[in-house]
Structure 1
């Protein structure tokens, strides 16, 4: 559980930690890997969200997942990518966030991930929460804590 003063100061920030869906690069679960390979190469991200035709979050696809599909005994076979769909290899065991106010869960999950998909109760994709956005909130916290609270050391910290 986050200490209440920490959580309260972070909630005073006027920044939204969610990068909205309309500015996040995504692909459709029915796209072939050749298309996704080009998208990932062009935008220079290593992993992006996968959606269905109704904008439900379905999983994540990464450059490494695609390159694994190109590997054959003789080297690389890029022609294979046109015949494999995203839904056949995407990662589906993904932590998603339903409550952007739940900083404790967000912080815990972002230890291992660069971003978290933010969805509503019906899994409609609303955007992503990135480690960068959370670090900016932590930066706000470290520069503004004393505007909201006065901290004094307790006995444990003085020993």
Structure 2
């Protein structure tokens, strides 16, 4: 039986799997929370990357982060969306790797994250690698 460990797939570069930065929904540190929530809802994603003005990854923001910040004792306080910026509620922890790293690392990082941010050697945002694209490649590999 074919295994991933003995396969060359683990050493392949990830370049062909990257969703380019032009196609990735993201927000910036200074965006208001209502803007971030709108982007998340319209994109259908639960979390998206947060970038700074230099287009470098600073973290991620999710619907859960936003809802936690406006959750009152008795109700969701939507009016508080204007009181916060993305940088106030985002998580600085986001999986990231360089665009020339291997599939094995991407697979490991995707276990606990729906996407991995991809950076170039200047740490500029290049795009994301989704868990879906990783699983699709594994599926194609085993169908051979």
Q: Identify the TM-score tier after normalising by the shorter chain.
A: 0.7 to 0.9
Larger radius of gyration: 1
Q: Map Cα deviations across residues 93-149 of structure 1 (whole Å, 9 max, x no partner).
A: 2220114441221111111111100011222110000111111211221133xxxxx
For normalisation by structure 1, the TM-score amounts to 0.80
Match status 1:3 vs 2:5: yes
Partner of 1:69: 69
Partner of 1:54: 54
Native 8 Å contact 2:59 2:92 kept in 1 = yes
For normalisation by structure 2, the TM-score amounts to 0.88
Native 8 Å contact 2:9 2:103 kept in 1 = no
Deviates more, 1:17-26 or 1:119-128: 119-128
Structure 2 counterparts to residues 95-134 of structure 1, below 5 A: 95-134=95-134
Determine the C-alpha separation between the residues in 2 that align with 1:76 and 1:63.
13
CA 1:136–1:10 in 2, change beyond 3 Å: closer, same or farther?
Answer: farther
CA 1:106–1:56 in 2, change beyond 3 Å: closer, same or farther?
Answer: same
- The number of equivalent residue pairs is 141
Determine the C-alpha separation between the residues in 1 that align with 2:133 and 2:38.
26
- Stretches of structure 1 lacking an aligned partner (at least 5 in a row): 145-159
Q: Map Cα deviations across residues 15-58 of structure 1 (whole Å, 9 max, x no partner).
A: 81100000000111100101111111111111000111121111
Native 8 Å contact 1:9 1:141 kept in 2 = no
- Stretches of structure 2 lacking an aligned partner (at least 5 in a row): none
Partner of 1:23: 23
